[in-house]
Structures are given as structure tokens and as C-alpha cells.
Structure 1
């Protein structure tokens, strides 16, 4: 009787806790990528990073449910783990982007970002997915379900990080290159002249400016 009660209670509690966790993740991500500069701030990249993780969870769970794989309540804890992995990938890519030169073109900055971030993201995602898929060999059904759902979700998380999130960073880079406000996308003309003059002055001195 108590086991049946736990199974009936778990879905509601998981949804409630995940909603709170997701809200905290959004606040933390936006706060970490926020800048006083209305052009160089990475608010949209942070939001897309959280969205990318959510898409990975939905895709991983949806694919396995479509294949009629059994779902055990232990697998409901996967989204909490996936949220941490996805945000970690996002912060790595943002950090690598910030180390590129502002005056370089968006394709050049994105290629430099991928050259540094892709290796780290690939290795961590590969090892995580491999460990989880090996865990599927466990004789316990609950462990098998958790590892299978988590492994597929990690794989989708990696896929979305190098495709969807990268595309979002490129669009945000185009906005920055056009010196547009992060929210209204209106050009900041006065600031634009000041920023260009400052960048040219630093470039003449051989100083690399990051953003």
C-alpha cells in the first residue's frame, strides 16, 4: 500500500521540484551572463542554453517512450542531472566566445569558440553517455531505466549544444556586430561610435579585447 502511494505521489512531486529547479537555473544562467553593456550582454544565449537542455530532455524521453521503452520512476530524476550537464556546456561555450576578438567576424569567432569548446564538451558528453549506457547492463530494472533514459538524454544534450546553442550564439554575435540592444534590437548609435573608437585604439596598440 505504501509503495503504491509513493508511485502516485512521485509524479506530482517531481514536476513541482523540477519546475523550481528550472526556474533557479534560468535565474542563475541569466545572472551569470548579464552585463551592464546592453550590447555585449549574453542574456539570450543563457536562455537558449537552458532551452537547449530542456529540448534534450524532451527529445531523449520522447524517443524512448516512442520506442515503448519501460519508464520507471527512478528515471524521473534524470532531468536534474541533465540540467547541470547542459548548463555546464553552455558556460564553456560562452567562456570560449568571450576569449575571441570583438573585431573579428562572427564566423571567425564561432570557429575559434568551437575549436576550444568542442573538445571539452565532446569528451565529457562521451564519457558520461558511455558510463550510463554501461550501467544499462545492471540486472536491476530501475537502474536500467535510469541509465537508458539518462544516456539518451545526454546524447541529445550534446547534439543540441553543438547545433542549436551554436546557432543561437551566432545570431547573438550578429546582433553584437550590428551594435544592437539585447532586448529591442535597436542600434545604439552613440555607443556604437564610442565602442568602435575604443576597439580601434586598443587594436592599434595590439591589445585583444574580449566580449
Structure 2
């Protein structure tokens, strides 16, 4: 049982990386389209459209991995060992909850990541090394 939280945490982090990768990819596509249509001054993508693109691209991948992991541990519930059966039951429930929380809690937090990236975007492009700005800030104090 002590290993179960780390196992579920690893699955959740993998899903989070998939969502963030897709979110940032669609942000770059949006920026490219916005630069191409500067003369029209119209916003190409909204939050809802970007989120639907992210879920359309990565939602099935996250669902399939969560489903296969849940089924694998679900089969382990029928193990004759009660310790193994309890471990598989708890892990399959945790994987299901992880799947729900990815879409209900983590995904709505993605706009905050967007705002933070847009704030730091110009400084990161100038510096070419993200930690340089932090070191420079500490030296100024």
C-alpha cells in the first residue's frame, strides 16, 4: 500500500504533461494565426475553443491510459491474496479519481499557466536562459 500514491501520482503527472504540452502547442498555433491576421484585428481562438482542441487531442489518450490501468488493477482485485486484492482495489479507485480530477480541477487551471507564460514570454525570449533573470534580480537587491 505505501507505493500506491507514488504510482497514481506518476500516472497523474504523465496526464498533466500531456495536457500542458497540448495547451502550449495550441497557444503557439493561436499566436501564429493572430500574427497572420493582424490586419483584421480579430481574435482567432478563445479559451473554450482552445480547451476543446486540447481535450479533442489529448482527452482520448488520457482516457485510454486511465481505462487500461484501471482495468489492469481491476483484474487484480480477483487475486486470492487479500493484500493484493485490497491494493488493486484502492489503486483502481485512485486511478479513476485521478482521471476525474485531471479534467475537473487541473484543466480549468490551465488559463493561469497561460497568463504566467505570456507575462514572462518577452523576458524569456531576450535572456535565452530562464534562470538568468532570477540571478540578475537577486544581484540587484
1:10-64 CA distances to partner (integer Å, 9 max, x unpaired)? xxxxxxxxxxxxxxxxxxxxxxxxxxxxxxxxxxxxxxxxxxxxxxxxxxxxxxx
**CA drift at 1:102:** 3.3
Structure 1 length as normaliser, TM-score? 0.47
1:82 paired to 2:19 = no
Hey, which bits of structure 1, 4+ residues long, moved more than 6 A? none
1:102 paired to 2:43 = no
Secondary structure of residue in 1 paired with 2:2: helix
Which among 75, 89, 101 is matched to residue 148 of structure 1?
89
Where structure 2 has 5 or more consecutive residues not aligned to the other structure, the ranges are 32-44, 123-141
What are the within-5 Å matches in structure 2 for residues 1-211 of structure 1? 75-100=1-26, 101-103=29-31, 104-173=45-114, 175=115, 179-180=118-119, 191=122
Q: CA RMSD in A?
A: 2.1
Give the number of aligned pairs.
108
**CA drift at 1:97:** 1.2
Q: Distance in 2 between matches of 1:176 and 1:107?
A: 19
1:60-118 CA distances to partner (integer Å, 9 max, x unpaired)? xxxxxxxxxxxxxxx22101111110110001111111221234222221111110110
**CA drift at 1:172:** 3.0
Secondary structure of residue in 2 paired with 1:124: helix
Mapped contact 1:110–1:170 kept (Cα < 8 A)? no
Where structure 1 has 5 or more consecutive residues not aligned to the other structure, the ranges are 1-74, 182-187, 192-211
Q: Distance in 2 between matches of 1:125 and 1:147?
A: 14
Structure 2 length as normaliser, TM-score? 0.69
Mapped contact 1:89–1:161 kept (Cα < 8 A)? yes
